[in-house]
């Protein structure tokens, strides 16, 4: 291990993919980092990468043998970035820091995908012992290295201390165009543009917002996968042909990081078989839980987010491969479809995807708004859209329009109320319907594209059949109902079991 020349500005604990790359990014931006991992090989790898990537900066990333040494190498009050798996490892490291003598004004930043309620509990639990702060990070390995999207929350004083480093390492956006400014060069970070780092709110708010980001991510990924299945199975296109279409779409309103990488994945050949790699990847989707948490939260809050929930179910269904293999031989599919006009189908699919994408982001933003209200948080939705324009996994040109919508109406409760989005949906809804009908007639499942259309149609209905539902509830459970012709909140019950069926005002 090297001797410490000067005290470091920030300590990094956990040098897995994210921790190491965040450390290197911080170093690129002129800060000194002290780093520790239980696995000393990872410490050595990070130190040597920092030194070799940019010659002459051997002292900027210092490896430490243990937590005591790490604490001793940091200037006070200390800043410590945790990059460890969510859950008990976070508490394990905090407890180890307490034992090693961390002080009450030292700041510990959890950058993992922690459950937001755990973050709230931790902030309380460690009060007076250390300042527990959190900053969700999006962008994967490359994002961490060259510019992630950062969602910090907790003590405002801690944020003041951390902000210069966070703004420096964050992804940057051209303020004129809203497009990411990207340079993937070690030692030469992007310094111009607007940083994708904004203080989100009190403890837990950042992790909640990142959780919703991931819920949207699940839905957006599933939408693209549904397009792939439709193009393959309805039109019989090859993986490369689908990649060509995705690449073309990526030049238009569907431009996004996820569309771009999907085209790349589809184009990749398998080094072993020579076939498209995607055809050799087993069709069972994994998950770490953030999308599921988003769906659960939407149910708890009472915010309709069917497209996000369907994306979680789609992963669950994909995992039941043996059952699917059995049922594939037993359950009938659609009768042979008539001739499908390929160009028209592709054009409808592009419109349908855009509409469904609008609905899935709408669900995510509405969920954040409803949850924030419950928690008493004041979220800046314009800022959230703005820091998702670069660095994060759901970055997309279309976030610039979401930002503009919140610029015009900061507390807009639902994006469908925005004139731009309403008119985009109005223009494309007929194509969306044709596409959904086509998918249903072909027997190809498209749960997210379809559920988004039901969501759209649900909001279009001034009257829903919930009147009958309330009647049913009142019939068997005397749950009462409100009337359309009396003041809101006034409850009535019909005496269903009595022969006269009297109406009672409660």
- Shortest distance (Å) from residue 403 CB to ligand 6PG: 19
Active site residue 373: no
Q: Which is nearer to ligand 6PG, 140 or 471 (CB)?
A: 140
* 479 assigned binding-site residue: yes
Alpha-carbon gap, residue 119 to 156, rounded angstroms: 15
Supply the minimum distance, in Å, between the C-beta of residue 164 and ligand 6PG. 23
| Under 8 Å between Cβ of 392 and 196 | yes
What minimum distance in Å lies between the beta carbon of 325 and ligand 6PG? 24
Contact between 113 and ligand 6PG per CB under 6 A: yes
- Rounded CA separation 138/337 (Å): 43
Kindly name the residue from 42, 172, 210, 253 that is annotated as catalytic.
Answer: 210
| Contact stretch for ligand 6PG (CB under 6 A) within 137-145, 223-231, 350-358, 438-446 | 137-145
Going by their DSSP bridges, the two strands 172-173 and 10-13 should be labelled as unpaired
Q: How far apart are CA 122 and CA 132, in angstroms?
A: 7
Q: E strands of 369-445, at which residues?
A: none
**Distances, alpha carbon 201 to alpha carbons 68, 73, 117, 154, 414, in Å:** 31, 30, 14, 6, 21
What stretch of H or E contains 149?
A: strand 149-153
Out of 123, 194, 217, 226, the active site residue is: 217
321 is catalytic: no
Distant-in-sequence contacts of 84-93, Cβ < 8 A, 24+ apart: 84/13, 84/14, 84/16, 84/19, 84/112, 85/112, 86/112, 86/113, 86/114, 86/115, 86/118, 86/288, 87/114, 87/118, 90/114, 90/118, 90/122, 91/122, 93/13, 93/14
- Is 14 assigned a ligand-binding role in the annotation? no
Residue closest to 155 by CA, chosen among 111, 202, 116, 108: 202
> How far apart are CB 364 and ligand 6PG at their closest, in Å?
13
C-beta of residue 267 within 8 angstroms of C-beta of residue 261: no
Select the span of 28-36, 64-72, 138-146, 409-417 touching ligand 6PG (CB under 6 A): 138-146
Is 291 known as a binding-site position? no
- Smallest gap, in angstroms, from Cβ of residue 196 to ligand 6PG? 12
Work out whether 319 is an interface residue with ligand 6PG (CB under 6 A). no
Rounded to a whole number, what is the largest CA-CA distance in the chain? 93
315 assigned to a ligand binding site: yes
Site membership for ligand 6PG, residue 138 (CB under 6 A) = yes
Residue with smallest beta-carbon separation from ligand 6PG: 138
Q: What minimum distance in Å lies between the beta carbon of 151 and ligand 6PG?
A: 10
To the question of whether residue 288 is assigned a binding role by annotation, the answer is yes
Residues 279-318 that bind ligand 6PG (CB under 6 A): 286-288, 290-291
- Among 72, 22, 70, smallest CA distance to 49 is for 22
Q: Measuring CA to CA, which residue among 178, 206, 141, 498 is closest to residue 375?
A: 206
The residue from 217, 220, 226, 418 that contacts ligand 6PG (CB under 6 A) is: 217
**Rounded Cα gap, residues 59 and 198, in angstroms:** 30
Which segment (132-140, 177-185, 230-238, 269-277) binds ligand 6PG by CB under 6 A? 132-140
Q: Is 139 in the site for ligand 6PG (CB under 6 A)?
A: yes
**Sign (positive/negative) of CA torsion 229, 250, 197, 359?**
negative
| Number of residues in contact with ligand 6PG under rule CB under 6 A | 13
**Please, which residue, 118 or 474, has the CB nearer to ligand 6PG?**
118
Termini Cα distance of the chain: 77
CB of 141 vs ligand 6PG, minimal distance in Å: 9
Q: Is 492 annotated as a binding residue?
A: no
Q: Which of 77, 140, 443, 471 binds ligand 6PG (CB under 6 A)?
A: 140
Which stretches of the chain bind ligand 6PG, using CB under 6 A?
Answer: 113, 138-140, 214, 217, 286-288, 290-291, 392-393
| Active site residue ranges | 210, 217
**Binding site feature residues for substrate:** 113, 138-140, 213-214, 218, 288, 315, 473, 479
């Amino acid at each position: 291990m090297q001797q410490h020349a000067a005290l470091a500005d920030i300590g990094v604990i956990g040098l897995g993919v994210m921790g190491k790359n965040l450390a290197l990014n911080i170093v690129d931006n002129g800060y000194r980092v002290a780093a520790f991992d239980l696995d000393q090989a990872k410490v050595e790898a990070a130190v040597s990468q920092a030194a070799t990537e940019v010659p002459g900066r051997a002292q900027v990333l210092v490896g430490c043998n243990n937590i005591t040494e790490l604490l001793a190498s940091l200037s006070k009050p200390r800043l410590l970035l945790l990059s460890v798996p969510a859950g008990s490892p976070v508490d394990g490291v905090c407890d180890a820091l307490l034992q090693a003598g961390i002080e009450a004004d030292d700041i510990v930043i959890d950058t993992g995908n922690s459950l937001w309620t755990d973050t709230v509990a931790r902030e309380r639990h460690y009060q007076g012992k250390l300042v527990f702060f959190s900053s969700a990070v999006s962008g994967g390995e490359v994002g961490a290295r060259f510019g992630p999207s950062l969602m910090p929350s907790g003590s405002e004083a801690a944020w003041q201390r951390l902000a210069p480093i966070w703004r420096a390492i964050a992804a940057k956006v051209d303020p004129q165009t809203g497009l990411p400014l990207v340079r993937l060069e070690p030692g030469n970070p992007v310094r111009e543009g607007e940083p994708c780092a904004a203080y989100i709110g009190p403890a837990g708010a950042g992790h909640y917002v990142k959780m919703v980001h991931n819920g949207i991510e699940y839905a957006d990924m599933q939408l693209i996968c549904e397009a792939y299945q439709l193009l393959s199975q309805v039109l019989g296109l090859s993986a490369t042909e689908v990649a060509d279409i995705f690449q073309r779409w990526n030049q238009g309103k569907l431009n996004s990081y996820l569309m771009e990488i999907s085209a790349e994945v589809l184009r990749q050949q398998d080094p072993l078989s020579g076939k498209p790699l995607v055809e050799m990847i087993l069709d069972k989707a994994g998950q770490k839980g953030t999308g599921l948490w988003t769906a659960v939260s939407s149910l708890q809050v009472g915010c309709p987010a069917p497209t996000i929930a369907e994306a979680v179910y789609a992963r669950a269904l994909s995992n039941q491969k043996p059952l699917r293999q059995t049922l594939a031989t037993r359950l009938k599919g659609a009768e042979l479809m008539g001739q499908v006009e390929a160009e028209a189908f592709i054009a409808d699919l592009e419109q349908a995807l855009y509409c469904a994408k609008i609905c899935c982001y709408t669900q995510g933003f509405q969920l954040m708004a409803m949850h924030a209200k419950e928690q008493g948080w004041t979220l800046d939705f314009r800022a959230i859209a703005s820091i998702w324009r670069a660095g994060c996994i759901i970055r997309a040109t279309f976030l610039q329009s979401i930002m503009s919508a919140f610029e015009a109406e900061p507390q807009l409760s639902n994006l469908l109320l925005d004139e731009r989005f309403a008119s985009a949906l109005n223009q494309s809804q007929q194509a969306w319907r044709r596409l959904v009908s086509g998918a249903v007639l072909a027997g190809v499942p498209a749960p997210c594209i379809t559920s988004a259309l039901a969501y759209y149609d649900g909001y279009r209905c001034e009257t829903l059949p919930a009147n009958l539902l309330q009647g049913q509830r009142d019939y068997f459970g005397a749950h009462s109902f409100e009337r359309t012709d009396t003041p809101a909140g006034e409850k009535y019950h019909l005496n269903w079991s009595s022969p006269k069926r009297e109406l009672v005002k409660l």
